[in-house]
């Protein structure tokens, strides 16, 4: 997981609103820095980092929403992004766990195969016993269940990822960024009309 970037130019003598705009812009830039992961489903770590950056951006908006009330709806959008990326990440972790379990079962099959090859005396005997080991492995209920569950979860992950990609690759993310920037960039022109917070 990527660490949070420092927020430059926070000035204690400036208003909460002005500093809030800086914090939000920094968190938005951090979030957008992971956008290339949207186009590549294999970027598991970067998609997770994007989720963490979305959470940081959402927290910043929650903290400063008093200063930028136009961003209340954006909080829901960021929550949706965070939850979608969280689901994708959870499925990635589960699929890795299932693969590891299958590999552990394969180790047993390999060990059995070594025993067969060492103990059998003739080539035909080795071949027959090896087939029996492999056939038993192919019919193993635990293995079949793990393979089925893995296939189901990988398919679910592909669907979740594709839905996320279709919504956020390209103009969707640009529009979100523009919404946030336009709400926070009004700080300079609104300074005279807003009470100092």
Quick: pLDDT tens for 117-147.
Answer: 888 678 888 888 888 888 887 778 888 899 9
Quick: pLDDT tens for 91-118.
Answer: 999 999 999 999 988 888 888 888 878 8
> Can you tell me the distance from the alpha carbon of 160 to that of 87, in angstroms, rounded to the nearest whole number?
8
Alpha carbon separation from 155 to 30, 39, 88, 152, 161 (Å, rounded): 30, 18, 11, 5, 10
Six-digit token pair at 152?
Answer: 């189901």
> Can you tell me the distance from the alpha carbon of 168 to that of 60, in angstroms, rounded to the nearest whole number?
21
* Percent of the chain with pLDDT strictly greater than 70: 93
Asked if pLDDT for residue 55 goes beyond 50, the answer is yes
Quick: pLDDT tens for 134-181.
Answer: 888 777 888 889 999 999 999 999 999 999 999 999 899 999 999 999
> Can you tell me the distance from the alpha carbon of 113 to that of 107, in angstroms, rounded to the nearest whole number?
10
């Amino acid at each position: 997981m990527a660490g949070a970037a420092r927020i430059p130019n926070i000035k204690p003598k400036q208003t909460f609103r002005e500093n809030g705009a800086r914090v939000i812009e920094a968190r938005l830039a951090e979030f957008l820095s992971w956008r290339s992961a949207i186009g590549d489903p294999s970027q598991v770590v970067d998609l997770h980092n994007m989720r963490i950056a979305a959470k940081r951006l959402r927290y910043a908006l929650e903290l400063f929403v008093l200063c930028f009330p136009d961003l209340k709806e954006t909080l829901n959008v960021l929550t949706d992004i965070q939850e979608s990326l969280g689901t994708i990440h959870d499925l990635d972790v589960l699929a890795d766990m299932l693969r590891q379990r299958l590999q552990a079962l394969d180790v047993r099959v390999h060990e059995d195969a070594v025993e067969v090859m060492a103990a059998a005396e003739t080539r035909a005997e080795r071949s027959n016993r090896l087939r029996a080991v492999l056939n038993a492995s192919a019919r193993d209920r635990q293995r079949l269940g793990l393979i089925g569950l893995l296939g189901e979860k990988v398919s679910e992950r592909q669907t979740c990822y594709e839905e996320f990609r279709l919504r956020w690759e390209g103009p969707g993310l640009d529009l979100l960024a523009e919404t946030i920037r336009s709400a926070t960039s009004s700080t300079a022109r609104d300074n005279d009309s807003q009470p100092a917070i």
